[in-house]
Structure 1
């Protein structure tokens, strides 16, 4: 089955989009400078074509949700590109003393190379970090909230995983606060009792989520799985899997489609 290109998967990750823009600007500046320099520094052209391939390939992997399959490939090519970039940056910085003329065009090439290197250094963390790591989730835009003690000036940092895997319960109710009430489910996952809710939305899982075994209302799912959603308000959404299993799911693991 051919991979489906979905630009929304790229746009849903703002920090990655920023790195793509920075990489693209740096590549364009270097390309213009290389056209002016000509064949004086031929290795710049090798770096340009290499990085163009890396830029397009990485964007394609993200837009087809194939990063997990090509993660090591991306990291390997990124390491090779960084090696080339650092070599070219050193040549560009020392170009005025080597060539004795046209130092401004080498400075422009060096600036473009530095932009590309900064973007790739970010990619080392972005693609190298594990999916469940704090660094990866923070890069994806999930901030680390703080809970404040009203009686003391004491702040405790709570990770997104802790925030969503340990929801607050009101009056010992088994349903998480601010979540839509989920009907009880039978052995086959079908709702029993009361009218069946209307699933007006669909969402794609950005990450895998393992439900709390002590809370039968939580719904576990795998990355890339498509869920039906009743309401998209609050931190917990009432969801239904393709096999009919229903439950509540953390909204920061899901993206509406």
Structure 2
């Protein structure tokens, strides 16, 4: 069963700030619509519609399932923007006609929400490799554990985990500069890499690409794009990782993104 972790929301400042703005705009429009009543039924439709979008977007981020529901979210956001523009137009027209502040308050709340939804179109719709998404992800704060050691190597019980060194990495690149599945160089000595099953996995990372482990090296770990891995230490070109099924090994850091 998918676990809800609101720490993932807190770790993404851009989304968190936009969520707070959206919630503030929704609350203003909700209070104003309660005062207005049933004069404009469309306002209530948009109020409940945007409530479900706000909850759905929050749960998608909190369960790290944005890549599964991004098209669904974008579809609902497009419908919400249409409703919002109609609501804004209706409240402005009535405000101009009667000069009632409750209509201007409702319109202001809807305008706040529309600005946030336009940002969410980029946030949920942009590809991971795009400049916009990389800029947003650059502000993501890694989730750390207070008990985790930041030294390198890390000693855990009787076993010592030594972060693999950069010379062990050989990654093929496609024409656009993105890493393609590759393996460690043949004949490289991995004797200094000791996988510690009992290590403290202080970080989490999402796989940006699929990776197939080198069959000649038992230390490497295979994973698929979008899979969530637990990470011991985020230093070096290779990270010790653990998959949800409990299997452990090392993974190339440029295939992963901390969350």
Alignment of 1:1-257 (within 5 A): 2-98=1-97, 100-102=98-100, 104-142=101-139, 173=167, 192-193=191-192, 199-209=199-209, 221-222=223-224, 223-229=226-232, 231-232=233-234, 234=235, 236=237, 238-242=239-243, 243-250=247-254, 253-255=257-259
Deviates more, 1:198-207 or 1:87-96: 198-207
Q: CA deviation at 1:137?
A: 1.8
Q: CA deviation at 1:17?
A: 0.8
With normalisation by structure 2, the TM-score equals: 0.68
User: Match of 2:150?
Assistant: none
* 3-state SS, counterpart of residue 245 of structure 1: strand
Contiguous gaps of at least 5 residues in structure 2: 141-164, 171-183
Count of paired positions: 212
Q: Deviations over 1:172-206 (max 9, x none)?
A: x5579xxxxxxx9999xx95358666833343223
Contiguous gaps of at least 5 residues in structure 1: 144-168, 177-183
On the 8 A contact 1:13/1:141 being kept in 2, the answer is no
Counterpart-to-counterpart distance in 1, 2:194 and 2:99: 80
RMSD of Structure 2 on Structure 1 (CA): 3.6
* 3-state SS, counterpart of residue 191 of structure 2: coil
Task: Evaluate the alpha carbon distance shift between residue 116 and residue 109 of structure 1 in structure 2; reply closer, same or farther with a 3 A threshold.
Answer: same
With normalisation by structure 1, the TM-score equals: 0.69
On the 8 A contact 1:14/1:141 being kept in 2, the answer is no
On the 8 A contact 2:208/2:256 being kept in 1, the answer is no
Task: Evaluate the alpha carbon distance shift between residue 201 and residue 46 of structure 1 in structure 2; reply closer, same or farther with a 3 A threshold.
Answer: same
Counterpart-to-counterpart distance in 2, 1:119 and 1:247: 36
Q: CA deviation at 1:16?
A: 0.8
